[in-house]
Amino acid sequence: MLMETPKEELTKRHMLLEAVESIGGVLRDNANKSEEISTLAPESVEALKGAGMLRLKVPKDIGGFEVDPVTDAMVLEALAYHDMTSAWCTMVGNTTVSALAGFLKQPIVDRIFKDGIPTGAVSFFPAGRAKREKGGYRVSGHGRFGSAIRHAEWVAAGTIIENEPGQEGPPQVIFAVFPIKDVKLHDNWGDVVGLKGTGSCDFSVENYFLPDDMGFVWDLL
């Protein structure tokens, strides 16, 4: 297991690429299993975790590697040579947990990351709808393409906050963050063709109270 993070970026890059090669056999051996069970095989998940692949983009101060974009792309490319599904789930998982670390308020980050770096999934399309109420929002929605969600601990979902009466302008879009235990998974990824092993099934919440501090704006500008 990778514990120390080299300070020099090229050293870190080489270390991570070597880590990919060290688990390449496991990823290849379980690629068909992932396709058969419509989610990333547990053996592949554990190999990725053990090699540090699920903390590539997380800040250093909470145990991540905080890699540069070139290293990130090179590691994902190297994973894809062994197993496309593992590479895709690694990309999604890293995107999710690094967003939680980077955009949520510090007390929430401390709580989510208190036992180490968790696993995550994200659905970008704003399929959720939220109404403001005291202390947060009331959220309902049906998210799609939840890649990696079957081994995720947290899920972020694009959500539109409905305008209040008399409020003008476009509604705000946030990412609502849910513990996986609070979302319903829909088993609708078994008949797809291509990347079936990503387990990208739908998920939903209904009339869910989301505290103010469990949502964030991902400002692409």
| Residue pLDDT, tens place only, 36-64 | 999 999 999 999 999 999 999 999 999 99
Separation in Å, CA 175 to CA 99, 103, 125 = 10, 10, 10
Q: Write out pLDDT tens, residues 163-208.
A: 888 788 888 899 999 999 999 999 999 888 888 999 999 999 999 9
Task: Give the list of residues 6+ apart from residue 127 with CB closer than 8 angstroms, or none.
Answer: 141, 142, 143, 144, 157, 158, 159
pLDDT of residue 3: 53
Is pTM beyond 0.85? Reply is yes
Give the model's pLDDT for residue 2: 44
Give the pLDDT band of residue 221 (cuts 50, 70, 90).
low
Number of residues that make up the chain: 221
Encode pLDDT of 76-99 as tens digits. 999 999 999 999 999 999 999 999
pLDDT digits (tens, 9 = 90+) for 98-138: 999 999 999 999 999 999 999 999 998 999 999 999 999 99
Alpha helices in the chain (DSSP H): 9-29, 31-37, 42-50, 69-82, 84-103, 106-112
